């Protein structure tokens, strides 16, 4: 139980850092540090997936109070990460493609949705998708732009 509480506290703290990143990006303070922010955000999403897998593999019984906190933290983390992705995609000029990290982060966020279904249950995943629904176009755009950019870099490919 102590390990679960520690993990939840860590997730809440890292979610606050992610919120700070989004707020700083909105104000234009982090334009030079976007790659680092992408790396942090992706590492945090991977940490969440790992923590969910550990909890599932160790068959820890989660109390209802902790489960509610975990779900709120997951939804908040997903929303902040998606908002950061949205801000970066919206800020890119029409000439330069989005950074490759946008593609990786979009993949990580979709992996998070599947991990919630795998490790928590389809009921939690369905409730999570409701919160994720507004951000799905941004994820699709980030995935699509990464694929299109990779195709454009190949010789003899016409789109």
- Tell me, what's the pLDDT at 66? 74
Q: What is the DSSP letter of 79?
A: H
Tens of pLDDT, residue by residue over 73-106, are 999 999 999 999 998 888 765 556 677 888 899 9
pTM: 0.84
Q: Can you tell me the distance from the alpha carbon of 102 to that of 58, in angstroms, rounded to the nearest whole number?
A: 32
Q: Can you tell me the distance from the alpha carbon of 117 to that of 57, in angstroms, rounded to the nearest whole number?
A: 14
- Tell me, what's the pLDDT at 146? 59
Burial readout 78-95 (b: 16 or more C-beta within 10 A, e: otherwise): bbbbbbbbbbbbeeeeee
138 touches 102 (CB < 8 A): no
Q: Can you tell me the distance from the alpha carbon of 38 to that of 33, in angstroms, rounded to the nearest whole number?
A: 9
Q: Which residues of the chain are under the pLDDT cut of 50?
A: none
> Mean pLDDT of all residues in the chain?
83
Rounded to the nearest angstrom, the gap between the alpha carbon of residue 147 and the centroid of all alpha carbons in its chain is 19
- Tell me, what's the pLDDT at 121? 83
Biggest CA pair distance of the chain? 57
Query: Domains of the chain (ranges plus CATH)?
Result: 2-20+34-152 (1.25.40)
Q: Output phi, psi for 6, to 5 deg.
A: -65, -45
Q: What is the DSSP letter of 62?
A: P
């Amino acid at each position: 139980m102590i390990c679960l509480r520690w993990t939840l506290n860590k997730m809440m703290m890292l979610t606050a850092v992610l919120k700070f990143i989004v707020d700083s990006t909105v104000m234009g303070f982090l334009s030079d540090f976007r790659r680092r922010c992408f790396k942090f955000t992706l590492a945090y999403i991977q940490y969440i997936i790992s923590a969910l897998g550990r909890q599932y593999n160790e068959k820890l019984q989660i109390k209802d109070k902790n489960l509610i906190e975990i779900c709120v933290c997951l939804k908040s983390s997903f929303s902040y990460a998606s908002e950061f992705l949205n801000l970066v995609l919206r800020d890119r000029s029409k000439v330069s493609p989005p950074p490759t990290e946008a593609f990786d982060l979009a993949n990580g966020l979709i992996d998070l949705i599947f991990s919630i279904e795998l490790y928590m249950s389809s009921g939690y995943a369905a409730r999570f998708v409701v919160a994720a629904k507004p951000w799905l176009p941004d994820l699709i755009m980030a995935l699509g732009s990464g694929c299109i950019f990779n195709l454009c870099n190949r010789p003899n490919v016409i789109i």
